[in-house]
Amino acid sequence: MTKALSLAVLFAIWEVAALVAQSRLLPTPGTIIGTIGLEIRSGEMPFQFACTLGRVGVAFTVAFVLGTIIGTAMGRVPVVDRFFDPWVVILLNLPALVVIIFAYLWIGLDETAAIVAVVLNKLPNVIVTTREGARAMDAHLAEMAQVFRFSALKRLRHLLLPQLAPYLAIAARSGLSTVWKIVLVVELLGRPNGVGFVLGTSFSLFDVTKILAYALMFVALMLGVEILGVQPFERRAARWRPRRV
Amino acid sequence: MNGAPHAGVPDAFEITVTRKAHVAADATRVVVLQDFILSLPKSGFVALIGPSGCGKTTLLRIAAGLDQSFVGKVRNPEALRLGVVFQEPRLLPWRNVAENIALARPAAMPDNTADLADRLGFTSVLSRYPSELSLGLARRVSLARALAIDPGLLLLDEPFVSLDGASADRLREVLAQTVGQSGATVLMVTHDVVEAIGLADTLIVLSERPARILARIALPAPRGRRTIEDTEAILAEVRKAQATAG
Ligand SMILES: Nc1ncnc2c1ncn2[C@@H]1O[C@H](COP(=O)(O)OP(=O)(O)O)[C@@H](O)[C@H]1O
Ligand SMILES: [Mg+2]
């Protein structure tokens, strides 16, 4: 309730400010909603969002799967941890922009380079978070599984993943928001389509209405994924926890 | 009869520990077991009694194959299937009671969860998660999990601690019945001498750390139905063994 009110107030202030300013640089919410409608009907917006969503989906999945495997290995095997730790630290501290530029320079201005750039930016976060989870695993339960001869698959499903789940949820949550943002930069710098590309061209044309239309839809979409995707997963993973009364 | 192995009955399991030391956090070494040999007769029920900290859990972990860093060997010639009741219940918190039991059971085995739950008295919580159970109930589930796999060798580490008298008696009875029928070989750690006398047919009295065998007492048959006089006599024998060590 409070949240809805807060949003309504924000839009009201915006409306008033836009009416007072009467500037091309600050369109009213109504103008923007109109533009969104036009863009959707023309098929332009759905296409650009599909391009971006596709990149987000692929990059997120690759980074997540790779990061989970590497992070678990590092958390469980000290030698692996010592070997890869410097790499992870370097990747963590490399500015996203540098990674993107070198991906385009070395691989070329293509889709692979775009995905690699996003994955490399996201990977170290997933690794560090998963490693934390793998280190915190319960040795008593591992012994129980050993004594009762759990198969590798049973161990994965009933021992490893449930213990990693809270960490994976953290990685997914923070991961999704970083990937979204980095994909836009990647598109801005070297792709002929996608939301980032549209924002770039609109910027050079000073088309503030279009920029705001795409930005608003983008935020709405991120919130949708958060509410419909991430939160239900977290609730499911936390089912067994003692309920607070 | 002290120290004498069972005549005639072949050994099903043998633990030989020439030396086992723990390295404490401050890097000092604590010798827990030295020149220790324990053989379990086939289908026998051996109870280990010893003071707290003498090395009982360490010995069980070695027997279970969970601790490999010791000098010696563990022989399991018939490859008996192992069932363990740990000192703590060790249930998977994210799986409910029925799933915890089912997961331990090899796929080929018939589902006996309902029967065990009924006999051990936890049918009403089969779909609950471990965090919703009292410690007593969790212990029952942990015992059921070990019995559910029809173990050839059952290791129990103080399984009835912190249970009220009546439930402990019920669990002991189910345990005695089940292993009596299946012919499982059992090694149980306890510090309750009367409990040991009630369940076991061989009593092993351990010394302070490093654990040595002070006495190996063969109990008169039948297991589980000792008279008060029998119990008193055995109790006296245990006390005598412990006194000579001190
Ligand atoms: N992982 C360990 N590291 C260091 N010392 C240990 C460890 N485990 C047990 N000990 C010590 O070894 C001794 C025997 O422990 P334990 O076998 O658990 O005894 P019990 O089960 O008979 O009470 C105790 O003095 C204990 O403090
Ligand atoms: Mg112990």
Asked if B185 contacts B40 with a C-beta cutoff of 8 angstroms, the reply is yes
Among chain A residues, CA nearest to B64: A147
pLDDT (average), residues A68-78:
93
B226 band by pLDDT with thresholds 50, 70 and 90: confident
Atom of ligand 1 nearest to the CA of B51: 22
Q: State chain A's mean pLDDT as an integer.
A: 88
Report whether pLDDT(B232) > 50: yes
- Phi then psi dihedrals of residue B15, to 5 deg: -115, 125
Under the banding of pLDDT at 50, 70 and 90, the label for residue B246 is low
Q: What is the three-state SS of B156-176?
A: EECCCCCCCHHHHHHHHHHHH
Domain positions in chain B: 11-81+151-245, 93-149
Least confident of A26-30, A122-126, A200-204: A26-30
Kindly provide the b/e burial profile for residues B158-180, where b requires at least 16 CB atoms within 10 angstroms of the residue's own CB: bbbeebeeebbeebbebbbebbe
- How far apart, in whole angstroms, are the C-alpha atoms of residue B129 and residue B91? 9
* Probe site for chain A from B60, B62, B92 (most A CB atoms < 10 A): B92
Residue B212 pLDDT > 50: yes
Q: Where are the domains positioned within chain A?
A: 29-237
Q: Are B170 and B120 in contact (CB under 8 A)?
A: yes
Nearest residue to B49 via CA among B198, B192, B243: B192
C-alpha A123 chain-centroid distance: 11
Query: What is the rounded average pLDDT of the residues B182-200?
Result: 90
Residue among B84, B103, B129 minimizing CB distance to A147: B84
E strand or H helix at B228: helix B228-245
Is pLDDT of B48 > 90?
A: yes
Interchain CB distance below 8 Å, B64 and A240: no
| CB within 8 Å: B149 and A148 | yes
Class of domain B11-81+151-245: alpha beta
Rg of the Cα atoms in chain A = 22
The count of C-alpha atoms lying within 13 angstroms of the C-alpha of A42, restricted to the half-sphere facing its C-beta, is 9
Q: Distance between CA atoms of B181 and B176, rounded to whole angstroms?
A: 9
pLDDT at B220 (0 to 100): 77
Ligand closest in space to the Cα of B31? 1
Of the two residues B226 and A212, the one the predictor is more confident about is A212
Share of chain B above pLDDT 90, in %: 58
Question: How many beta carbons lie within 10 A of that of residue A66, not counting itself?
Answer: 15
Structure-token pair, residue A207: 């088309």
* Coil, strand or helix at A199: helix
- Calculate the CA A160 to chain-centre distance: 24
Q: In the CATH scheme, what is the code of domain A29-237?
A: 1.10.3720.10
pLDDT tens per residue across span B72-108: 999 988 889 999 999 999 999 999 999 999 999 988 8
pLDDT value of position A224:
85
Taking a 5 Å cut-off on Cβ, the residues next to ion ligand 2 are B 57
